[in-house]
Amino acid sequence: MNDYTPTPDRRYFVMRGRLWRLSNPSLDASTHERLVHRLLEAKRAVHDSKDSEARLAARVKVDAVKRALGERGDPWWDDGAPDYSRRRALDTPYAEWFTREAG
């Protein structure tokens, strides 16, 4: 299985065996693009920060944008399914799919 393979329900992608939440698909394309641009700027600010205060401020921005994208915070789906983000795929209901895909 290649990294960034999306789960069949497209809620997560798999990277190094862990599930990471995908962006909310109900975001319109221009909003998604704008937020991704802001996320990249914030990540650059984390990398380029000269001190811990600047780094913390940049990380707060990264978190805010990831929440706006739906990648953090409350799940963007509304069917009551739990959030398995950051968990090993093998320890979730996606285990059978993951094993088959990685096979």
* Strand residues in 25-86 grouped as ranges (E): none
pLDDT above 90 covers what percent of the chain?
A: 92
The neighbouring-strand residues paired with 5 are 14
Phi, psi of 75, rounded to the nearest 5 degrees: -60, 145
The per-residue pLDDT for 38 is 98
Tens of pLDDT, residues 33-47:
999 999 999 999 999
Strand-by-strand arrangement of the 12-15 sheet: 5-6, 12-15, 18-21
Q: Report angle CA 11, 82, 26 to the nearest 5 degrees.
A: 35
On the question of pLDDT at 55 being above 80, the answer is yes
- In the chain, where the domains are located: 1-22+84-103, 27-70
Tens of pLDDT, residues 94-103:
999 999 987 7
pTM of this prediction? 0.89
Tokens matching residue 81: 């399914």
**Alpha-carbon radius of gyration of the chain:** 15
